[in-house]
Structure formats: structure tokens, C-alpha cells
Amino acid sequence: MINNEIVLKVSNLSKRIGKSSIIKDVSFELNKGEILGLLGPNGSGKTTILKMLVGLIKPTIGSIVIEKVNIRKDFEKAITHVGAIIENPVMYDFLSGYDNLVHFFRMTNQFSNGRIDEVIELLRMDDYIDDKVYTYSLGMRQRLGLAIAILHQPSILLLDEPTNGLDPEGIKSLRETLRKLANENGVSIIISSHILGEMELICDSVLVMDEGKCIERGLLSELQNGTSTKHLYSFKVLNAENIKPILQTKYENDRIHFQSNGFSIELEVEEVAKINKLLVTAGINVIGIERIGSPLEELYLQKLRGEET
Ligand SMILES: Nc1ncnc2c1ncn2[C@@H]1O[C@H](COP(=O)(O)OP(=O)(O)OP(=O)(O)O)[C@@H](O)[C@H]1O
């Protein structure tokens, strides 16, 4: 559950490399237990933001405050609150998953091995934790990476494109794990991905980047309410060759994209039933009506095109 407590505050963050400005005045806050999707096209600055949050890249201007600690003032203290998987996490292929966890656990300066067992149970890794890592599938490796990242019980977890290369089953189980971490353990998560459908299922809120700038930030539920009321619908019919003259009586030709098994058209939701009735009355068998594109996809594309919602 999202809590009002702010765990991360990013203010006026900018990064210049040489003459190019790759991050431009980005500010946002992250609440306890919130899962934030960091979205944006290739090169928009998502990885750079995540790298700045873990101290891999130094901001040119701006401040990052993690759990009330400014990373410029006390980096070591601030970073204890963060777990991250950015690019390929380091792990030892010729050790078992368990021995990897023991190795990384020692680096956290904690002394009770109970935490390792807790993490194995939380991420449901019992079946393969004693196998050597080189035998792991991508999904298992990714889970081990996640286990290493949360060993020291961070309150903020940063994941750069964690679903890359995972099959649908792997994505689903990652989604469930992240939800559990956020809801039951109060972990706040920032997750970057290109795949909007996945983000829609995982995230509470989104931050959309474009050319180094933040062009949208908000709760998914609120942003989706503000999207355009028109959506693209696809109609599948049995006798498609007869539909043109019927539709042309009510709709301009250039609004309709005809296909061999039907057509698609952008409509207000109330118009969907009207078209269906028009077709059925004219003796056309409508076998399917589907809305194309998710609300997040529509919002994202609108924002990138610079349209107001
Ligand atoms: N060390 C660097 N020197 C110069 N330019 C850089 C450097 N690192 C990143 N950039 C540029 O900064 C921009 C943002 O890169 P970044 O990797 O943060 O984008 P991204 O949104 O994560 O992209 P992708 O989705 O492709 O991973 C890009 O135009 C990139 O070329």
C-alpha cells in the first residue's frame, strides 16, 4: 500500500556530459510502498537517472535525498537504503545460488544467516538455490539478482529493464514478487521498462521521460482518467465485403481503416454500440469488437506527441 511517507526526493536534477545536456531539471518524489514505472523512448535518460540515484553517475546540478539523507552529504548512509539491479548484476556462476547469497550477505556486515533463508523463501527459490548458477535460466538468474539486491533489506529498490528476456511466466512471477515486496514489506520500487502493457500491470504510478526531461508524473489511475475519450476499436465481421456502403452513410471514409475481415475506427465509447447496431440492422454478422492499445499506451503516445490530455 502506498503510504504518505516520502522515501526519495529528487530535486532539479540535471546532467551535462560535454556539451550535451542528457538530464534536464528532473524533480520527483517516491512514497513508501509505491511502485513507480520509469518510461520513455530509447535514450530518454532512464538509465542515467537510475545511475545517479545509486551514485554511479554524479549529477551536474540538483539533489537526491534518500530516507532524509542527502547523498552528497553522506553517500554511505544514504545508499544503505537502496538495492538495485542496473545492467547485468554481478554473480558467481561457479558457485551455487546459496553461496552467492552468503558471499554478498557478508558484504552487508550483517551477522544473522536467517535473512538469507528469509529471502530464499520470499522469492521462492528453494528448488534451485543449491544448484550452480551457470545452470540457471534467465528467470532464475534474475531472481537471484533480485535476492542479492534485497539482502540488506533496502527500503528502495531500483530495477533497470528487469523484464528484458523473461518469458510471460517469468514476468508474471516477477510482478507478483514486486507487489509483495511493496505491499507487505513497504519497499518502494522504481522500475524502468519499454513494455507499457507490463508496466500497467505492475505500477502504481509513472514518470515519463523524453529527451532528458520529465514530461509526465502521476498515479496511473488518475492519469488514465485524463486520457482522450476517443479510442481505437477494431470490428471483426463475417461478410466484410458488404460493410463499406453501410458505414459510409454515417462515417467519413478517411476515419475508417478497412481490412479483409473487418475495419478499425477511432470512436467515443458511446458510438461503439451505435455502429454495432447499424451493422447488425443491415444484416452484417459482427463477431468481435476490441479496443486496441492500453490506456497507458494511449497516454504515453499522447505525451510524446506533446498533446494535452
Ligand atoms: N557517458 C555518456 N556520454 C555521453 N552521452 C551519454 C553517456 N551516457 C549516456 N549518454 C546519452 O544520454 C542519453 C540518455 O541515455 P540513457 O542510457 O540514460 O537512456 P535510456 O532512456 O536509459 O535509454 P535505453 O532505453 O536505450 O536504455 C542518450 O542520448 C545517451 O546517448
Instruction: Decide the pairing of beta strands 188-192 and 156-160.
Output: parallel
201-238 pLDDT per residue, tens: 889 999 999 899 998 888 887 776 655 577 788 899 99
Q: What is the distance in A from the centroid of ligand 1 to the CA of 155?
A: 27
For residue 44, the ligand 1 atom closest to its alpha carbon is 21
Asked if residue 38 lies in contact with residue 207, where contact means CB atoms within 8 angstroms, the answer is yes
What value of ipTM does the predicted structure carry?
0.94
For residue 49, the ligand 1 atom closest to its alpha carbon is 18
Q: Using the Cα atoms of residue 116, residue 155, residue 64 and residue 1 in order, give the sign of their dihedral.
A: positive
> Residue 266 and residue 285: Cα distance in Å, rounded?
20
Nearest protein CA to atom 9 of ligand 1, as residue = 48
Nearest protein CA to atom 2 of ligand 1, as residue = 17
For residue 50, the ligand 1 atom closest to its alpha carbon is 18
For residue 51, the ligand 1 atom closest to its alpha carbon is 18
pLDDT score for 74: 92
pLDDT score for 106: 84
pLDDT score for 72: 92
* Pocket, ligand 1, Cβ cutoff 6 A: 17, 22, 40, 42-48
pLDDT score for 154: 93
Instruction: Decide the pairing of beta strands 20-31 and 6-17.
Output: antiparallel
For residue 212, the ligand 1 atom closest to its alpha carbon is 14
- Out of 24, 47, 214, 304, give the residue to mutate to test ligand 1, the one with the largest number of ligand atoms within 8 Å of its CB: 47
C-alpha cell at position 29: 518524489
Question: What residue type is 103 in one-letter code?
Answer: H
Q: What is the pLDDT along the chain (309 residues), one digit of tens a residue?
A: 677 899 999 999 999 999 899 999 999 999 999 999 999 888 899 999 999 999 999 999 999 999 999 999 999 999 999 999 988 778 999 999 999 999 888 877 666 678 899 899 988 899 999 999 999 998 899 899 999 999 989 999 999 988 877 788 888 888 899 999 999 989 999 999 877 778 888 899 999 998 999 988 888 877 766 555 777 888 999 988 888 888 888 888 778 888 889 998 888 888 889 999 999 998 999 999 988 777 777 777 777 777 655
Residue 251 φ then ψ, to 5°: -125, 140
83-117 pLDDT per residue, tens: 999 887 789 999 999 999 998 888 776 666 788 99
- Out of 22, 60, 158, 195, give the residue to mutate to test ligand 1, the one with the largest number of ligand atoms within 8 Å of its CB: 22
Shortest CA distance to 240 belongs to which of 261, 265, 209? 261
